[in-house]
Chain A
């Protein structure tokens, strides 16, 4: 399967714990995006990364959230000290370029539940 791979598919955390979401982009893609979807809503942009660089994190909360895309390995979205409001589906997408003429391709998401 050469698609975008996200794991885990489901993640349950207690309030105050840390959540780590992983994303491996499609083969040949070096542009990674993270989105969050709340129930009955569209996806909301969080962060855009290229290898080892954060290009745009304007959609990401300033506190508790961080993202990285290291030279080797998957992109990681990290949420520290989770709260109930962090419960959502988190989707990762990748593209070959950062331009709109190359569509973003999505993984199946990680559903984060906070107890």
Chain B
């Protein structure tokens, strides 16, 4: 059974629209993350949460907003979508936050903005 669920697997959006990427983890972890992977750049850290509190935000734009409604959920809302937002977005989790903890990644949501 998949331990980290990301929905949807594929997403196509038009420029200027808004989308929410869903992430749920069933590993009992206390820290969750979002990363982005595009053809032009390596995997990029976006956010980290620990016990539902924002620990780090490395996105330059407020168009990206994480939402943590439950301990094992960390959704990502993206507003005013741009073609440059096209990428695969990965959710990850770890038992605790910090440098030592292994991060487990979900299967990703591939977003295409037209």
> Is this pair of chains taken from one and the same complex?
no
